[in-house]
A and B are shown apart, each in its own frame.
Chain A
Amino acid sequence: MIPFKFSYVVPDTIEEAVQAWNSAEKRGVNPLYYSGGTEIITLCRDQKIEPGLIIDIKKIPDCNTLVQNETSTFGSALTLNKIIESTNIPILARTLERIADHTIRNKLTLGGNIIGRLPYREAVLPFMVLYGSVQIASANGIRTENISDFFNKRMLLKKGELLVNLSLKNDKNDNWFYKRKEKSGIIDYPILTACFTGKPGNIKMALSGSFSYPIRDKEVEIILNNKSLDHRKRAAAVVDSMNNLFRSDFRASADYRKHLLKLTIKDALIYLEKKNENIQ
């Protein structure tokens, strides 16, 4: 149970939401945007946070966008299950459907998964490897940012900025590879989540679970695409280049995480090469 009282508003528009946030902040009321709420509820139960105003963004149309063309846009308030059911982008569906379990995915939202406190943020990975961009709203209006510029360990939102939606470029000809590993059972936080897209020589890779935050690193991708090394050596070289970043915790040691990533890179490279050959 949440042992304190708080106010709750349901804005109809982005402007109302941002305004509610700013005016609450000015009054010292401690506002929080809310969509799925799974994290907020846990943190409030433990009294680790104490929002004075909860701003429910689930009724804002722009936060519920679902458009799929060459560029596809997904609202931040969409539940993961809604996106999984509706999307024609396989790597997006695969990544989202391994997060938590089906019941919880009825509540988890795209935005909440990416900008909550938990470090995994797996929903951002497909956007990282598919030329993703985000639409942000603030008191100064609405703007678009590229994920490659706007995500560094986390989405670089300033306080009070609202994540409205995310977009990506869907190339149906592009191949993809996805892998997720957990400590024991599949319903758990990851010790490795890996999304790969692209053709051999131009493979993009975004990772979560191995480190304390999601990473896509273009320097690392140069090593990943270095054809002068065989698959195993390339995998080892990639892992070596990120050596100090691997996380050790009670779910897995850094050594085991490194091993899993090596295996996954090897499998991804083999798979994507095979797929590429089949197409040609």
Chain B
Amino acid sequence: MKKINNLTVIGKNTERLDGMEKVNGNTRYTDDLPLPGMLYTAFVASPHAHAEIISIETIYAEKAKGVMGVFTGADFPYLIGLYLGDKPPLAREKVRYFGEPVAVIVAQTESEARRAAKLIKVSYNPLPIIASPVEALKDDAPVLHENLSSYNHIDAILPEPGTNVSNRTKIRKGNIEKGFEESDTIIEEHFSFPPGDHVFMEDRIAIVEIRSDDQVMIRSSTQSPFGVQNLMSSFFDIPNGKITVTAPPVGGGFGGKAGIQLEPLAYLLSKKMDGRPVRVALTREEDLVSAPGSAGLQARVRLGATKEGILTGADILLLFDSGGYADYAVNVSRAAAFASSGPYKIDNLKTDSLSVYTNHPYATAYRGFGHIELSYAIERAMDIMAAKLDMDPLKLRMINAIKAGDSTPTQNILDKNTGNLKGCLEKVSERLKWPEGNYLKISENIVRTKGVACFWKAPAIPTNTEAGAILTFNNDGSMNLSTGAVEIGQGIITGLAQITAEEFGVSTEMVHVVREIITDRSPHDWTTAASRTLFMVGRATIMAAVDAKNKIKKTASAVLLCSEEDLEISKGKVFIRDEKDKYITLGKIVNGYSYPNGTSIGGPIIGTGQYISRHLTNVDPQTGAGRPALEWTMGAEGVEVEVNLEDGSFKVLKAACAMDVGRVINPNIARGQVVGSMAMGIGYSTTEALEFDKNQKVLNGTLRDFKIQRYGDHPEYFVDFLTTPQQDGPYGARGLGEQGIIGIPGALSAALSKAVGKQLNRMPLTPEYIWNEGGIK
């Protein structure tokens, strides 16, 4: 790695490499490259949240114009799942959520498919409905997955057959009884919020064809091309090498495209169509409801502290509303358990984190991966504790802020790469002018209040998470970087270009980053998610750069008749360090060097790099002890709001976030990630919630009714980065893509609770809810 003091590209606001083509509409997303002979699909979805399927009449649809085939769950006897195989590609025998697909039409055009879909008649026998995790856990609750005991699953997931629990993760650290005995004050409270949705700009789509040599060719809007390859291989018993997945640039993922979604069905349909390409694409409405979103939560926190405000123990129950199927929720709930204390020193911790089946649209990974849920619970509990202790809530957090040497819920000791959480709190306090007070009466009806929260997250990743990088060169001396990282809008290709450019002492114009990830030629990569891509792929990229430079120097040392140690590479040349006039321009050497008489040596330089997560371990199933976390990015955030007590309406005036990221590779892009995640957090807390009627049918399944943040809604944003180095990160950097969303629900709830003088323990935070709890009546 280069010396860190004279950076020329890292830390600069390099313009996004893909910016111009994106704003000009030239980017080729998955749906922008139609294949000859492609067939189209349309779905029929369940209007019931829980029902037996009695019959599906397909005869009229089969006869409709352009229709190539009509398929139902009966045609596809597979059970698919990331960690727990519980979901058929189309509902079989019963439906478990409103919007679950029960049939699919394959036709020559999309119009014909949609017309034919309306000709399908399904009859159902409604079944009793489970509307929440608490209901699902009652003794007399219907069991949504009667065959849970026979489902395949990975060892780390522990489903409880005969119940609606798809996984239970336990943390047993210290001695909880002792923890509460040592406390002077104990608080206990319940918290909840409903499921929501990612609302990425590009709806989900997968196109699959099967070549005549049986090679399965998948194009998909996915964050995880190699994940799709792996899962398809295991679901359908196809060797990995016979599956090629192409991941074009993605129009937003936020975790919703980090698993497997439409690909299995697209494959099965292509197989039925003799290998012809089949395009399975969702409308926005289908993406909102039929495809998975974010989990709901019901939580209970019991927290004990001394009268000085030192936390002594926490007993936490997190119930994740995972909906009709488990998907990612079994792991999301697990990751939440590992971080369930929040970034606080709690020596006695008992957590039970469950993913629970209900009759809601099911949940998948969502930005934060369980950390919004755990943070909402612990941050609300911290505020309630602060109120009971009559202590400033910021001070309570300062007192208990976790630091190097303290242990995590999985009993891992934080090392010297740990961020400065107190510094982050101080920064947020400064931005919000916290010392001036967090409650100000503006007029009879209007108050201004502030709330803060802390957050932390480590990537929730398998112990063998890996990344790779390949550098090849062009005759103009520029280089091509190929990695497995998908550009989902987070700016990764720009970040990687900056790292590469820094290594070579050139501008990013000399670095061409491959835009489409194809599993047969891109280096293997776990998944673009979990805020680990810059960290791990960045490390692999540096290694590839160093490897390439070494190989260049080897050839150059022969030409320049010197030892390799005397050589440097910068600004497009390889030269002798102390005799700079003895050089070779890179273009003349990177694909072979020719002497004046024609004799040639060397050959194409190919730099390779790799990275695998270091020293991660599995955890003990009884206590949670182990090391699942690679590096923690932590920080603080806060908001200032203005509330009208007459009707509960409010405006977020300011939102501040300070996090310790080690090093900022690109300030604008980093700020964009944090601001974007804060905006998403405000939406998550206030409007992005699914609404259900008493039969758990979704009422707001279109963008007319499911509202997200708009330009103009936004507060004044403050983003600060602290830079305690992550010594094993690229140039000392840590991940930061998700963290900004995590603390917003807690901070916003705190500010609004302060305004109405009553603890608000539910979301979404709507004016009606706020007014009901404490407005002027």
Contacts and interface: CB of A to CB of B under 8 A. Distances in A.
Interface of A: 1-4, 42, 45, 47, 101, 181, 183-185, 187-189, 249-250, 252-253, 256, 259-260, 263
Nearest to B766: A184
A3 B111 contact: yes
Closest 8 CB pairs of A and B: A3-B114, A3-B111, A250-B691, A256-B768, A250-B699, A184-B687, A3-B115, A47-B118
A232 B777 CA distance: 12
Interface in B638-680: 646-647, 649
A184 B770 CA distance: 11
Contacts of B699: 249-250
A45 B105 CA distance: 17
A185 B647 contact: no
B744 to A, nearest CB: 15
Given A4-B111, A181-B647, 16 more contacts: A1-B111, A2-B111, A3-B114, A45-B283, A183-B766, A184-B707, A185-B710, A187-B710, A189-B704, A250-B700, A253-B768, A256-B771, A259-B647, A259-B771, A260-B647, A263-B647
Nearest to B698: A250
15 contacts: A3-B110, A3-B112, A3-B115, A4-B111, A45-B283, A47-B114, A47-B115, A183-B767, A184-B707, A184-B766, A185-B713, A188-B707, A189-B704, A252-B768, A263-B647
Contacts of B118: 47
Nearest to A189: B704
B108 interface: no
Nearest to A47: B118
B686 interface: yes
B683 to A, nearest CB: 9
B771 A187 contact: no
B114 A185 contact: no
A214 B64 CA distance: 43
A101 B691 CA distance: 23
A245 B705 CA distance: 22
Contacts of A3: 110-112, 114-115
Contacts of A185: 687, 707, 710, 713
Per DSSP, are chain B's interface residues mostly helix, strand or loop, or mixed? loop
A253 B766 CA distance: 12
User: Is chain A's interface secondary structure helix, strand, loop, or mixed overall?
Assistant: loop
Given A3-B115, A47-B114, A263 B646 contact: yes
A25 to B, nearest CB: 23
A128 B691 CA distance: 33
B526 to A, nearest CB: 36
B64 to A, nearest CB: 11
Contact of A187 (B111, B686, B700, B707): B707
A259 B772 CA distance: 11
Nearest to B690: A250
Nearest to A5: B111
A107 to B, nearest CB: 14
Interface string B678-717: 0000000011000101000001100011010010010000
Interface string B723-742: 00000000000000000000
A250 B701 CA distance: 12
B115 A4 contact: yes
A259 B705 CA distance: 22
Contacts of B649: 181
B479 to A, nearest CB: 42
Nearest to B765: A184
A210 to B, nearest CB: 14
Interface in B355-410: none
B714 to A, nearest CB: 11
Contacts of A188: 707
Nearest to B686: A184
Contacts of A252: 768
Nearest to B646: A263
A177 to B, nearest CB: 16
A188 B707 CA distance: 8
Contacts of A259: 647, 771, 777
A185 B112 CA distance: 38
